[in-house]
Amino acid sequence: MPETASLSAIQDSPFARKLAAFVKLSDLDLTAMSDLYRRRRRFAVGVDMIHQGQTNQSAYVVASGWACSYKILPGGSRQIVDIQIPGDFLGLRSVLFRTADHNVEPITLVQASEVKQRDLLNTFSQTPRLATAVLWAASRDEAMVVEHLVDIGRRSATERMAHFLLELGARLRLVGLGTRAGYLCPMSQYLLADALGLSAVHVNRVLRELREEGMLTFQKGRVVFDDYDALVEMAGFDRTYLDQDRPLLL
Q: What is the pLDDT of residue 1?
A: 44
User: What angle in degrees, to the nearest 10, is found between the helix axes of 189-196 and 200-212?
Assistant: 100
State yes or no: pLDDT of 134 exceeds 70.
yes
Q: Are 174 and 123 within one domain?
A: no
> Which of 123, 139, 155 is a domain's end point?
139
**The model's pTM:** 0.91
If asked whether residues 125 and 162 sit together in one domain, one would say no
Q: 139, 160, 188 — which closes off a domain?
A: 139
Same domain, 221 and 181: yes
Q: Pick from 110, 139, 168: which residue ends a domain?
A: 139
- Tell which residue, 109, 97, 185, 190, has the closest CA to residue 138: 97
Domain at 33, CATH number: 2.60.120.10
- pLDDT for residue 120 is more than 80: yes
Q: For residue range 48-63, list pLDDT tens digits in order.
A: 998 888 888 888 999 9
Best CA proximity match to 32, nearest among 161, 132, 104, 147: 132
- Domain that residue 94 falls in: 7-139
Tell me the per-residue pLDDT of 199-231, one tens digit each, with 9 for 90 and over: 999 999 999 999 999 999 999 999 999 999 999
User: Do residues 39 and 66 both lie within one domain?
Assistant: yes
Do 105 and 189 lie in a common domain?
no
Is 2 within a domain?
no
pLDDT for residue 246: 63
128 & 23 share domain: yes
Domain with residue 154: its CATH number is 1.10.10.10
**57 shares a domain with 131:** yes
The residues, any chain, with a CB within 8 Å of residue 204's CB and separated by 6 or more, are 189
Q: Is residue 159 part of a domain?
A: yes
Average model confidence (pLDDT) for the chain?
Answer: 90
Residues 129 and 236 in one domain: no
Distances (CA, A) of 61 to 51, 177, 179, 200, 207: 17, 16, 23, 30, 31
Q: What's the domain count of the chain?
A: 2
- 250 lies in some domain: no
For residues 120 and 160, state if they share a domain.
no
- Between the alpha carbon of residue 74 and those of residues 48, 71, 79, the distances in Å are 19, 10, 12
Confidence class for position 3, pLDDT limits 50, 70, 90 = very low
